[in-house]
Amino acid sequence: MYDCGQMEFCPLFCVVRVFWNTRPDEGGYIISKNELQINEEIRDKEVRVIDADGSQLGVMPLQAAMKIAAEKNLDLVKIAPQAQPPVCKVIDYGKYRFEQAKREKEARKNQKVVEIKEIRLSLNIDTHDFETKAGHAARFIGDGNKVKVSIRFRGREMGHPEHGIETMKKFAAALADVANVEKQPKLEGRSMQMFLAPKPAK
């Protein structure tokens, strides 16, 4: 059995450190997002305990660990069930769950949703219309969205797909400063499509 003073030589140390050093905030470790066992739900005879202040309390019987948590009016939470013995931490579990939900809500709020906007061209598009649609595409790209450029072939136009590719390449060249071609022009049925994506920020 290893006590706290022997921790650096303990073969379980690498397992404990995963939870001890990788938390991005002030807690000093990450608690798994999976459903955790707390207090009476823990059935192990012995556990390795981390105190609320982050100090290592070593391996002890489960009842002793639960007594420590109860005396501080906190919870005993199993954070590394795969370790031998399992690692538990003394924390305010209700507060932890509240803060976790708050962080997840904030992350969802700050998420950028990338939309795919469509620009439709034609083989006989005039210069003014071409420039107008290129301007719209540039605005979509500037907002962080992707752009699907499409051309619908009609009648005898199906005999000249190279004209569509030429128009697509011209359109991509007009946006070369702000966009990369994510998917090259491809003819599917009577429709040719090309996808543009914003250039990575430098």
Question: Do 93 and 144 reside in the same domain of the chain?
Answer: no
Q: What is the pLDDT of residues 68-86, one digit of tens each?
A: 999 999 999 998 888 889 9
Q: What is the pLDDT of residues 20-37, one digit of tens each?
A: 333 433 334 445 545 788
Instruction: Report residue 14's pLDDT band, with 50, 70 and 90 as the boundaries.
Output: very low
Q: What is the CATH number of the domain that holds 65?
A: 3.10.20.80
More confident site: 116 or 109 = 116
For the four alpha carbons of 181, 187, 192 and 193, in that order, the dihedral sign comes to negative
What's the confidence (pLDDT) of residue 146? 94
- CA-to-CA distance for 175 and 118, rounded, in angstroms? 15
Judge contact between 90 and 75, C-beta under 8 A: yes
- CA-to-CA distance for 196 and 119, rounded, in angstroms? 11
Q: What is the pLDDT of residues 141-167, one digit of tens each?
A: 998 899 999 999 988 888 889 999 999
Q: Which residues contact 83 (CB under 8 A, 6 or more apart)?
A: 12, 15, 16, 48
Domain that holds residue 185: 116-198
Question: Do 82 and 127 reside in the same domain of the chain?
Answer: no
